[in-house]
Structure 1
């Protein structure tokens, strides 16, 4: 790993642990709650303890003034929920554009097991190569999704995170299995593994997932809708950050964050 990659990893993490708030959902589900006034949401979650924000390149100018010194990841592909195949993620940006947008890292979503998996493997490999030339870290959002694929099966997710490492990613985000079977996912790779938030749940259930994932070996979380659609994004981020960065219990995190 190059000096540049290491330096930029420090910009999107704290002591090797990461609380990332992805807000690339405008392409996927449209201008939903929390994303219309994205400036206020970014300010809130970074005040709450998020290490980095993730968006598509077109929002960069709205991101930077509101990050409170936190890191920024530029996402490079996407699809819509109303399109013909939501698993068919298409390129929306390049590594060079991410650099010009002021990104500290790039991310790419791959659906292992989907009909478009072969192209996505090729693209992730090429992005990893190009990003390495710029000293830019790559976050692979590696999911197990496709016809007949069990999306929270530990074996499938372990395969997905290992693929990310094999093709050159520096960090990997994946779905949570729902229990301690997540240990086998975290052990499948030497990359830092981030737990994805998935569909929003009540606060306690979501925080219990975070706590379990961390105890299973996760290096942090990458949670979008459960945070930016929350009635109090700052407090929710603070609770998550307390668990990830201070190993707080769920009860302590709820109490200290004011949820």
Structure 2
């Protein structure tokens, strides 16, 4: 009997070890443009390491309520870091294995497509997100996550069919400025390490965009049962509807892009400055 019991215990231990080997571990988490933060899943995000170094931190998004996420997690999508040029984070790659990179975004300023469009490049070699237009993906004030899977084997990072070498235990995550479009940005970054790419239930995911809009439709239907045309109209209305402005305490948030217009005004200021002395000389004559 004891022998059978030992066999059972060994089997249980093996099952536990297998389950542990498939668990995901948070390697790196950053609240871009904001301070340290713990989300509703208990994941701790460090304060932005680029503060005071590169780009601009903004909490302009606090004026909006963010769709697709619980209220306690909205802050991750309300703060952001953007830059007038390309910028990057160096993310740790401690060892070989499978990795899942989640990039968190929300459009909190623009109200139309083709305004803010940019690429995201990993390890200076792999374009992991191409021509991202957040508004085109989900609209304004709605969370959008880009989920990227890659592996590292014998120091080589492999993404799709390409590979690049991991140097000094780090990979560069770059948000690339595209000509003719507004500044690249990111709201939060989290990197998981695990061993079972198929079992993704352990990684917290935001509500699907279909469920989000379906919920909006359901809320508008109230207690009656409209016909198919009405349902279609309600769905279109929900998808086009801008998020409600949230009333917040304290001073109004500064427009994060207001300072970007200074470069266009500079030639005007120079011209005025040059014209005033000239006008004075002409009057003297």
TM-score of the superposition, structure 1-length normalised? 0.23
Q: Which has the higher strand share?
A: 2
Rg larger in structure: 2
Q: Which has the higher helix share?
A: 1
Higher relative contact order (CA 8 A, sep 6+): 2
